[in-house]
Amino acid sequence: MVATAGAGYLTLARPWGWPGVAACFLGHILADLTRLTALSAALTRGRQLMSVGSYRLLLTAMGAFLCALAGGSFIWALRLLAA
């Protein structure tokens, strides 16, 4: 059983040796860079389209969601370790 999708892709890249693993890693990093750049551009543009109050509310809600996600992941990991 593969724990993450990335580990599965690394398994598929292994037949090509280190160049395959390096290409997989580089592709992952470039995909992250592209996604986060697009998100940053959208947030910057969104700030111009929204009022300051609604923008602050949106960022607060997104931050609360990320905190809840991190807390839930932590509790889930603790339950797995205790089992």
Same-domain status, 45 and 58: no
Which pLDDT band holds residue 66 (cuts at 50, 70, 90)?
very high
Same-domain status, 58 and 75: yes
Same-domain status, 83 and 58: yes
In terms of residue numbers, what domain contains 7?
1-49
- Of 3, 2, 66, which is closest to residue 74 (Cα–Cα)? 66
Same-domain status, 39 and 74: no
Same-domain status, 40 and 63: no
Query: Judging by beta carbons within 10 Å of its beta carbon (0-12, 13-18, 19+), is residue 39 exposed, middle or buried?
Result: exposed
Same-domain status, 14 and 39: yes
Number of domains observed in the structure of the chain: 2
pTM here is 0.49
Per residue in 37-49, pLDDT (tens digit) is 988 888 788 767 7
